[in-house]
Each structure stands twice: as structure tokens, then as C-alpha cells.
Chains A and B, each alone.
Chain A
């Protein structure tokens, strides 16, 4: 039963990746204008150079043949060469992934800690506290990340001068972008956790724990949190998967040289191999995170180990 579930899961993952690959290939060939013109870009070249490029990239082959060789290359880890950076796509992404990864982990970590604290403190409290919490949460999800970023920069960089306004070389430069990204994440997580906690606090085993003389804080931490954590972990994993390639706006606001900035330059320059490289990276992260999550569930919820 377990083995079958894992197999189905792996099969679905492969399908998702194959879909993303095919989407990538279709995008490369759906672009108006010949691929060769995109590679040449704005420079003028003679017919020989043009023919050379067509030969080099194998652009005169049939579409199925090109598709097959594209699949073959990607499977072996070759994402092609960037049209405008004149380097392999994997190298371009590899050089930029550091700042994006840092920001993703910092933001998700910050959101997880803050949301857990908030949820533990506000679940099943007075109506005023909960009203305040849900009002803040509503505002939190509604603030677009670029505006949060600009507000943070205005106050903490330009007015108070506490943090640098741009860059990605020291940890101080990581604080403001991490907070900006973490705001909507925190509110989403806190909502899910709080709903989970409130549901769990009604369960008979919580009453049992209280009857044993356990204090409120201990009940929340030792019993309720673990139960409420499952949906939150799902959300957390989804966030991790979405962030790596989804930081375009934040990286623009804070001038961080990450994958998002690479993506932005590639979109403006119609550099499709890079664009699709980022897409494939993101889809892969998403799939891997989902598989890891399945294992995390088993660790968090012992019931799943036997029945599923």
C-alpha cells in the first residue's frame, strides 16, 4: 500500500516535470520570429554567421527531432546556452542562486517562527485579541510585496539608516527583504495554524491533558501544536517551492542579484533558454519539496506510518 502510494507520487512528479519541459520547448518554438533571430539579437550579421548558428543549434532539423534532443540534453543536466549572456544556462543560474536561496530560507524561517508564536498566543483567546489578529492578518495578505518593501526602505533605510538600501553581500542587507517577503507568508501561516489549534483545543485528549493538571502553555506546545502543524507544513512547503523563482519583484525593489533578476533580464531580452531554465528549476524544486513533505508528514504524524 505504502509502496504503491510512493510510486504514484513519483509518477505524478515525473509527469509534472515532463509537462514543464514540454511547456518550455513549446515556448522556445512558439515565439514569433525564428529562433535564429532571437539568438542573433539586435546585432547585424552576414548570411554565413546566420547559417553557422543554424548549424550549431541544429535549427534546420524537424521539430520532433529537436524536441527529442532537447529532452536528452535536459535529462543530462544541460539546459542550453543563454542567447544574451553567452554562457551555459546552468552556469548563469548557479551564479545567481545564492542570494535567492538565502532570501527564501530567511523569509520562510522568519515566517514560520513568527506565525507559530502568533498562533500559539492568539488561539482561543478573548474576542478582542482574535479580532485584532484576524484584522492584522487581512491587512498582511493584502499588502503587495513591492509596497511593503518600499515602506520598509523608506523608514528603515532612508529615514533611520539602520539597514542598507541595496545589495546582497552582508547579512544586514538580508533583513529588510526577508521581512517584506515574510509578511504575507506569516499571515497566511498564522491563519492556518490558528484555525488548526482552535480545532484541536476542542478535542477530548486536550481535556484529558488538562485534567491531568497540565498547564495551558504546555497543552498548547506539547499537544495542540503538533496536530495543528500538518496543514501549516503543507503551506510552508508550497511557499518554499514558490519562492526561489518568485522573488522577481523583491529582488528588483532591493537590488539583489538573484535568480529573479536573472529572469527579469532574460524576459526583457527574449532570452528563452534562461527563462525556461528558471521555470524548470522552479518546477523541480516544487516536486522535490513535495516528496520531502510526504516524509515530513510521516515524522510528524505517527498515525500515517501504519495506515497509509
Chain B
């Protein structure tokens, strides 16, 4: 324990530049999502067949694809659909997971058992497999992809909230509140949810990146966004056909995905360090 206390400040200091870079990158992402025109000129679907498969250079910073569309512009315009997928899936998952976790933690033993065994079943399947089952039933599409990704994120939140509820429920101040005759709803709202908020925030931050990768994976497999939409996974899939002659078509959208996950992970870990520092 003492080692952790000594190590903590050094760790924070070392990660600081990385955290700053990640934060700046996330701000850029937000700008690209809200106003892509500020970061890239032209429309993502402007095709110039004379300039097909041009390498990275002065005219087109990151090169062009098989239809002569500018890859940099398409990547910038691809932020919005990717971010919407990530936020949508995590938003749904947090809501559903919190409700499930609360009912498992506060309900009786039977409810707890049912919810947690259902969570076990979901956790016994690989993420992508579960998403593909959902897409088989609902059919492909961006909105259905959001539901599919949300389903496999739910168990994590349900478990987290349940554990938090159990810890907090037995702590002194909640017992005091109960003995004062406060209603259940009020105890949940005033005491349990605020305490569960910080660990939830850590998980949410990291998982937005994970959900974005999942969305890109589903598009890459052909079940999410479809070409010609400028979506990162779909761009990667389209680039596959050319990557023996034009590596940049697939490599740059992939780089965008990787940097995005990295940024969310770095910021999420920073939150986690602060959280641990506070509770230690």
C-alpha cells in the first residue's frame, strides 16, 4: 500500500504530457464531429477519377482512394458517425446496466440471482459474436449496430453498479439514512448513485473508445455503415481491395481509429488514477 502511495505522484507526472496530447486530440475529435468543415475542405464524396489512388503528398495530404476522394477529408467527416456509435452504445449500456445493477443490488436474492446469471451468460460469449447474433436478428445497419454493441457492454455496467450498491448499502451513512426513514428512491438518488458515479465515469470514458472500435469492426465486416458513407471501418474495408498497391487507403482510417481509442484510454486511466488516489 505504501508503495502505491509513493508511486502515485511519479506516475501522474510521467503521464502528464500524454494526457494533455490525448485531451487535445479529443477536443479535435469533438470539433470534427460538430463542424467537419473547419478541419477539412470539400465534401467527403467529391470524386476526382483523374486523381484516383494518389499517394500521400502536397495535393492530398493522406492520398486519395480508388474513386479519387480525399482520404483526409473522409476521415474528418467520418468522426461524427463513429462518435455517435460510441456515445449511443455506451449511453444505452450505462442506462440499462445501471437499472439492472440497481435491481440486482437492491432487490431480493432471487432478482439478484436472475440478473447476475443472465450477465454470466452474456459474459461467456465473445463481444463481437454477441453483436453479430443481434445483427442476424435485427438485420444490418448503423442503428442496429448501436443496439448490438450496447448489449455486450451492459454486463460490465450491471456488475459495477451492483458491487457499488452492495458496498455503499452496508456503509454507515446509508444505514443511518435508512433508519431515519428515508424512502428507497431517495436513498438511491441521494446516496447510492452519486457514489457510483466516479467508477462509472472511468468505465464510460474507456468504453466509448472500445465501442467506436466495435462499430468500425462491424462496418468493416459489412454490417454497419455502408459505402459511400465516410465511416472509418467501411473505408478500411474498401481499402482492403487495394492495399497491395495503395496502402494509405486502409492504413490511415485505421490509424484514426487507433489514435481515438488510445486517447479515450489515456484519459480514462487518468480518471482512474485520480479515483484511486482519492479512495486510497
Contacts and interface: CB of A to CB of B under 8 A. Distances in A.
Interface in A206-261: 241-243, 245-246, 248-249, 252-253
A188 interface: no
B40 interface: no
Interface stretch (A42-50, A109-117, A279-287, A294-302): A279-287
A205 interface: no
Given A30-B137, A150-B243, A202-B3, A142 B262 contact: yes
A308 B262 CA distance: 41
Interface residues of B, number: 44
Interface string B160-191: 00000000000000000000000000000000
Given A19-B120, A151-B251, A246 B128 contact: yes
Nearest to B254: A147
A287 B254 contact: no
B51 to A, nearest CB: 22
B23 to A, nearest CB: 15
A146 B254 CA distance: 8
Given A150-B240, A158-B244, A266-B136, A19 B117 contact: yes
A282 B129 contact: yes
A141 B265 contact: yes
A287 to B, nearest CB: 7
A23 B258 contact: no
Interface in B122-175: 124-129, 132-133, 135-137
B3 to A, nearest CB: 7
A197 interface: no
A268 B135 CA distance: 9
A248 B221 contact: yes
B106 to A, nearest CB: 23
Interface stretch (B63-71, B83-91, B197-205, B209-217): B209-217
B120 A165 contact: no
A245 B247 contact: no
Contacts of B244: 158, 165
A142 B261 contact: yes
B271 to A, nearest CB: 15
Interface in A137-175: 138-139, 141-144, 146-147, 150-151, 153-154, 158, 165
A135 B18 CA distance: 10
A101 to B, nearest CB: 15
Given A19-B117, A19-B120, A267-B223, A153 B129 contact: no
Contacts of A283: 121, 124-125
Interface in A3-18: 12, 15-16
Contacts of B127: 246
Interface in B243-276: 243-244, 247, 250-251, 254-255, 257-258, 261-262, 265-266, 269
Given A141-B265, A279-B125, A267 B135 contact: yes
Contacts of A135: 18
A53 B231 CA distance: 41
A248 B129 CA distance: 8
B124 A286 contact: yes
B79 to A, nearest CB: 16
Given A139-B262, A142-B262, A144-B254, A287 B124 contact: yes
Contacts of A16: 117, 120-121, 124
A158 B221 contact: no
Contacts of A127: 10, 14
A37 B269 CA distance: 49
B222 interface: yes
Interface string B16-58: 0010000000000000000000000000000000000000000
A272 B138 CA distance: 12
A288 B262 CA distance: 34
A243 B255 CA distance: 24
A236 to B, nearest CB: 15
Contact of B254 (A23, A150, A241): A150
Interface of B: 3, 10, 14, 18, 117-118, 120-121, 124-129, 132-133, 135-137, 209, 213, 216-217, 220-223, 236, 239-240, 243-244, 247, 250-251, 254-255, 257-258, 261-262, 265-266, 269
Top 9 closest pairs, chain A to chain B, by CB: A246-B126, A147-B254, A19-B121, A142-B262, A142-B261, A286-B124, A242-B126, A154-B247, A245-B129
5 contacts: A146-B216, A147-B255, A246-B127, A246-B129, A268-B223
